[in-house]
C-alpha cells in the first residue's frame, strides 16, 4: 500500500452505509476473524447500524474521519468532543489493510485534530478489557490506563450481545 495515496476526509451522510459495513466487517462475523481486531469470539450481532453512523455524522460534538484509498473507504475512526478532552472510538481498518500503519495514521490525525481544532491536551478511549493485545498497542503509543472501569453496555448501544461478562478500560494520553 502506498501511504501517499491514502486520503483522510471527514465523513458525510453518503458514507454512512459504507462506514457501518466496514465497522461491522472489522469487529464481527467471519470476515473479522481474518484480522486482529475481531470481537467475534465474545460478541454477537452487529457493531453499529447505518442509522447510528448517520447520527454521529450529523452530531455537532464529533466527527468520523475516513481513510480513502483508490476511491474506497478502507478505515475510519470516531472522534467526539467531550468538553475538556476528546474520545476516540470505533477505530476500524479493513482486515485486508491491517498491519500497514493505517490505524497509526488515523490515531495521529485524531491527536492532531484534538490539539489544533478542539484545543484540548487529552484524548481518551474505552477498550474492552479482554482485548489485551489492543490495550498493549495503545500503551506502546503513549496511552495509559486510568483505572476507570465500566461494565460493557452500560452507557453505549448498538454493540451486540455479549457471550460473557465484559468491561471497558479507559485509556488516556496527554498530547
Give the model confidence (pLDDT) of 117-158 as tens digits: 999 999 999 988 888 888 999 999 999 999 999 887 644 554
State the DSSP string of 59-101. -TTEEEEEEEETTEEEEEEEEEE-SSSEEEEEEEE-GGGTTSS
Give the whole-angstrom CA distance, residue 18 versus residue 157: 20
**Number of separate domains in the chain:** 1
> What value does the mean pLDDT take over residues 89-94?
93
User: Is this structure's pTM higher than 0.85?
Assistant: yes
Work out the pLDDT band at 37, boundaries 50, 70, 90. Answer: low
Can you give the CATH number for the domain in which 64 is found? 3.40.630.30
Q: State which residues form the domain around 8.
A: 3-174
Amino acid at each position: 500500500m502506498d501511504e501517499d495515496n491514502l486520503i483522510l476526509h471527514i465523513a458525510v451522510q453518503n458514507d454512512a452505509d459504507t462506514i457501518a459495513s466496514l465497522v461491522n466487517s472489522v469487529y464481527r462475523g467471519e470476515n473479522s476473524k481474518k484480522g486482529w481486531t475481531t470481537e467475534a469470539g465474545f460478541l454477537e450481532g452487529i457493531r453499529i447500524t447505518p442509522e447510528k453512523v448517520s447520527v454521529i455524522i450529523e452530531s455537532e460534538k464529533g466527527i468520523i474521519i475516513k481513510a480513502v484509498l483508490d476511491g474506497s473507504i478502507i478505515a475510519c475512526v470516531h472522534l467526539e468532543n467531550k468538553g475538556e478532552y476528546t474520545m476516540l472510538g470505533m477505530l476500524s481498518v479493513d482486515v485486508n489493510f491491517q498491519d500497514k500503519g493505517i490505524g497509526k495514521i488515523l490515531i495521529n490525525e485524531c491527536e492532531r485534530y484534538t490539539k489544533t481544532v478542539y484545543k484540548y491536551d487529552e484524548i481518551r478511549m474505552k477498550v474492552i478489557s479482554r482485548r489485551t493485545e489492543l490495550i498493549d498497542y495503545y500503551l506502546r503509543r503513549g496511552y495509559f490506563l486510568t483505572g476507570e472501569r465500566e461494565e460493557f453496555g452500560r452507557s453505549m448501544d448498538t454493540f451486540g450481545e455479549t457471550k460473557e461478562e465484559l468491561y471497558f478500560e479507559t485509556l488516556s494520553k496527554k498530547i
